[in-house]
Amino acid sequence: MEIFETTLRDGEQQAFLHFTAKQKGDMGRKLETLGVDIIDAGFPAASDVDLEGVKRVVDQTDAVRLSVLSRPIKKDIRRAFEALRGAEHRSRIATSARPFDLLSPSADRDNRARSKTIDRSVDLMNEARTYFPEAQYYLVCAGNRDPAFLMDLSAAAAAAGATQIVVADTLSTMEPQRFGDLVRRIRSALPPETTLGVHCHNLLGLSLANSVAGVRAGATQVEVTIGNTGDGGGNTALEQVLAYAAYFEADDPRFSNGCRTEMLADVVQAFVDMTGMRFSPNKPLVGDISFLVETGIHQSIPKTVMDDVFSPETIGRSIEFAIGRHSGISGILDRLDKMNMRPRNVDQHTLYRHVMRAAEQSGSIPDYELGRIAKSLMADATTHRP
């Protein structure tokens, strides 16, 4: 499974999310160290900042393949090639023709619209391959188009030089079974040497499930962003794909990848520091409290059970206990152990009552307050020792 990381391009389409050119270079270096296969470096024709950002990614990376997006305009293809100068041998262009078949005003004009889409796509891929060693063609809005036509379009684009065909659920209109069926049909229309990729959006929260279904159906490239960033509900999350592969599919070669998953927390933190963006506190894997446990029932789960649960250390994080009204004695004692303050000669029920009484005011107990309670009870135990 190749990881096509598009935070710097599609992720940045999210409202209020912007990188400077320097930040794109710095982030590109982080992503290369993480081990992604392809970095989507940007959209050079969009602005001078985007163009400079692509150049910074070229300068800051050494071996990772770099892709850039282009409109279906020949001058944009040439501009994209200039943006990747110095990295031509590891360059890719990603584009698609306008979906005239979606714009057809009537059923009797469908055939002409479809022929126009195919003709423009073939011409586009021919032009792209005169400059780039790899050319990626997007089947945009795939869930809203005729699958039989998409098979014909994919085959024509591949014959014209497309090295990657990507099935894009641009509008979040597909669910896993239907998406997997479509990917399987597109795969059957392509020559074996053509890479098939998936690009899923997350408006209904199905991007990970759809991406997994795509891989199981024959896709070998998955497009992702950090933290589901991007327009239209965001994209499939980089961290979720890698965690899923590590936990559920460790023995399935279809999901093997070259990423150093334990570096994810560091990469996510760099992203947050650069952009100022904050995720929901309990957002899976990347939220500040996604591995912070307060409830007593979860704090007291036996270690033998926890050994089978996803380990946050896989992505460079760790489980922490918070003490509050929902905690049990097991969590309280564990927290005191970590503070090197486990109370001796103190009745555990007494300790629990004091902690709960303190928690009535604010709900949670900071470490200094928990330590004060423990010290007070230990002092009382020493005073009243017979």
**Residue 47, pLDDT above cutoff 60:** yes
Residue 250, burial from CB neighbour count under 10 angstroms (0-12, 13-18, 19+): exposed
DSSP string, 251-272: T-GGG-----GGGHHHHHHHHH
Angle, alpha carbons 145-121-67 (nearest 5°): 95
**How does the average pLDDT of the chain come out, rounded?**
91
| Residues 65-115: tens digit of each pLDDT | 999 999 999 899 999 999 999 999 999 999 999 998 888 776 667 889 999
In this structure, are residues 96 and 140 in contact, taking their beta carbons and an 8 Å threshold?
A: yes
Strands (E), the chain: 2-5, 38-42, 65-69, 91-95, 134-139, 164-169, 195-200, 221-224, 292-293, 320-321, 323-324, 364-365
Higher per-residue pLDDT: 175 or 102? 175
DSSP string, 274-327: HH-----TT-TTTSTTTTEE--HHHHT--HHHHTTSPPGGGGT---EE-EETT-
Banded pLDDT at 349 (limits 50, 70, 90): confident
Residue 329, burial from CB neighbour count under 10 angstroms (0-12, 13-18, 19+): middle
What is the average pLDDT across 142-169? 97
Lowest mean pLDDT among 131-140, 219-228, 285-294, 300-309: 300-309
**Residue 371, pLDDT above cutoff 70:** yes
What is the average pLDDT across 262-278? 96
Banded pLDDT at 121 (limits 50, 70, 90): very high
| Residues 279-297: tens digit of each pLDDT | 999 999 999 999 987 765 5
What are the residues whose beta carbons fall under 8 Å from the beta carbon of 12, sequence distance 6 or more?
18, 19, 42, 229
Banded pLDDT at 118 (limits 50, 70, 90): very high
Q: Give CATH for domain 2-275.
A: 3.20.20.70
Angstrom distance (rounded) from CA 118 to CA 365? 64
Residue 277: CB atoms within 10 A of its CB come to 16
Angstrom distance (rounded) from CA 177 to CA 216? 11
Question: What residue spans define the domains of the chain?
Answer: 2-275, 292-383
What is the rounded end-to-end Cα distance, in angstroms, of the chain? 68
Task: Please report how many Cα atoms fall inside a 13 Å half-sphere around the Cα of residue 22, on the Cβ side.
Answer: 1
Banded pLDDT at 148 (limits 50, 70, 90): very high
Task: Please report how many Cα atoms fall inside a 13 Å half-sphere around the Cα of residue 304, on the Cβ side.
Answer: 0
**Residue 385, pLDDT above cutoff 60:** no
Residue 173, burial from CB neighbour count under 10 angstroms (0-12, 13-18, 19+): middle
Lowest mean pLDDT among 146-150, 244-248, 291-295, 346-350: 291-295
For the chain, what percent of residues have pLDDT higher than 70?
A: 94
Nearest to 182 by CA among 195, 166, 194, 206: 166
